[in-house]
C-alpha cells in the first residue's frame, strides 16, 4: 500500500491544520520507499520501538508523540506522528478515553482539547474513582474542597492540567487528565484525577488501526508507562 494513502486516511481523521503551531506533526523520517506492507503503531518512538519495528519487518512507524530529535540510526524507516491534531479530532484521544469509560460527552461544550460529560444523576466520588481504576489502577487525585458528588466532569487525555481553570469555568466538578504537578494540585478548586499520561492515551492506537483499515498489516509496539508503582 502506498504510504501516502495511509497518511491520507489518518489526516482525514485528524487534520494537520488543527495541530498547534509549535507541534512537530507529520513525517519525522521520510525515506525514498513508497510502498508499505506492515506498519507499527506506538505512543512514543524509542530505541526499543525502532528495534521492534525492524525485528517485525515493519516499513513504517506511526506514533502519537512527535520527535524533537531524530537519531541518524533511525533514518532507514518512515516515522510519522499525529499529535495535537489527534487530540483535537472528533473521536481522538480524549473522546476515546470518554468512550472507554462508557460515558456520553456533551458535544455542544467540546473545546479544542477539553471534553465534558454531564450526569443526569450525580455520581458519587467512590463510583467515579472505581470507573477510572478500570483504565488506571494506580490513579491519584486531589480533592481540596472535599467534593463528594460529580455532576459534570471534564476530560483531557495526556497532559492537561493547564486546563483546570477552564474546566472550572465551565462548571465541571473535576478534571480527568495526566501529569499533575505538585503546586498545580495545591491550587486546584476542583477535583483533579491524574490517571497517567500513558494510560490516558494508549487507548487511541486501536482507533488509528481502524482508520488505516485491513489492506495492510498493522501491529502495536510493546510499550508501557515508565513509572513503577
Predicted confidence (pLDDT) per residue in 143-163, tens digit:
999 999 999 999 999 999 999
Distances in whole angstroms, Cα of residue 50 to Cα of each of 31, 37, 39, 171: 15, 16, 12, 44
Do 163 and 184 meet the contact criterion of CB atoms below 8 Å apart?
no
Residue 68 has pLDDT above 90, yes or no: no
Secondary structure of the chain: what % helix, strand, coil (to 5)? 35, 25, 40
Q: Where are the domains of the chain?
A: 3-87, 93-197
The pLDDT, as a whole number, for residue 103 is: 96
The angle that helices 205-212 and 3-13 make with each other, rounded to 10 degrees, is: 120
pLDDT average, residue stretch 139-143: 97
- Which regions of 125-178 does DSSP assign to beta strands (E)? 140-142, 149-159, 174-178
Cβ atoms < 10 Å from Cβ of 20: 14
pLDDT of residue 36: 97
- Cell matching residue 186: 495545591
For domain 3-87, the CATH class is: alpha beta
> Grid coordinates standing for 19?
495541530
CA angle 184, 186, 192 (to 5 degrees): 65
Closest C-alpha to 192, from 129, 134, 130: 129
Q: In what order do the strands lie in the sheet with 38-42?
A: 26-29, 78-81, 60-63, 38-42, 217-220
Q: For residue range 196-209, list pLDDT tens digits in order.
A: 999 999 999 999 99
Per residue in 70-113, pLDDT (tens digit) is 999 999 999 999 999 999 999 999 999 999 999 999 888 888 99
Whether the per-residue pLDDT at 117 is higher than 90: the answer is: yes
- Reference 109, options 183, 176, 169; nearest CA is 169
What is the percentage of the chain residues whose pLDDT exceeds 90?
95
pLDDT at 229: 81
Question: Fold match between 3-87 and 93-197?
Answer: yes
pLDDT tops 90 at residue 46: yes
CATH class of 93-197: alpha beta
Beta carbons of 92 and 112 less than 8 angstroms apart: no
Amino acid at each position: 500500500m502506498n504510504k501516502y494513502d495511509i497518511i491520507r486516511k489518518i489526516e482525514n481523521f485528524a487534520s494537520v491544520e488543527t495541530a498547534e503551531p509549535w507541534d512537530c506533526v507529520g513525517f519525522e523520517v521520510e525515506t525514498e520507499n513508497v510502498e508499505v506492507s506492515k506498519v507499527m503503531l506506538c505512543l512514543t518512538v524509542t530505541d526499543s520501538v525502532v528495534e521492534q519495528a525492524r525485528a517485525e519487518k515493519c516499513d513504517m512507524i506511526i506514533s502519537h508523540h512527535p520527535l524533537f530529535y531524530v537519531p541518524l540510526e533511525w533514518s532507514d524507516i518512515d516515522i510519522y506522528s499525529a499529535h495535537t491534531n489527534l487530540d483535537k479530532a472528533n473521536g481522538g484521544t480524549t473522546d476515546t478515553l470518554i468512550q472507554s469509560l462508557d460515558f456520553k460527552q456533551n458535544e455542544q461544550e467540546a473545546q479544542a482539547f477539553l471534553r465534558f460529560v454531564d450526569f443526569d444523576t450525580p455520581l458519587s466520588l467512590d463510583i467515579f474513582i472505581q470507573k477510572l481504576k478500570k483504565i488506571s489502577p494506580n490513579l491519584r487525585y486531589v480533592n481540596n474542597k472535599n467534593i463528594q458528588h460529580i455532576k459534570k466532569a471534564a476530560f483531557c487525555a495526556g497532559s492537561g492540567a493547564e486546563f483546570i481553570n477552564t474546566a472550572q469555568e465551565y462548571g465541571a466538578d473535576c478534571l480527568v487528565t495526566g501529569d499533575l504537578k505538585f503546586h498545580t494540585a495545591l491550587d486546584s478548586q476542583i477535583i483533579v484525577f491524574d490517571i497517567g499520561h500513558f494510560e490516558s492515551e494508549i487507548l487511541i492506537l486501536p482507533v488509528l488501526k481502524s482508520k488505516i483499515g485491513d489492506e495492510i498489516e498493522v501491529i502495536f509496539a510493546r510499550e508501557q508507562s515508565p513509572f513503577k508503582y
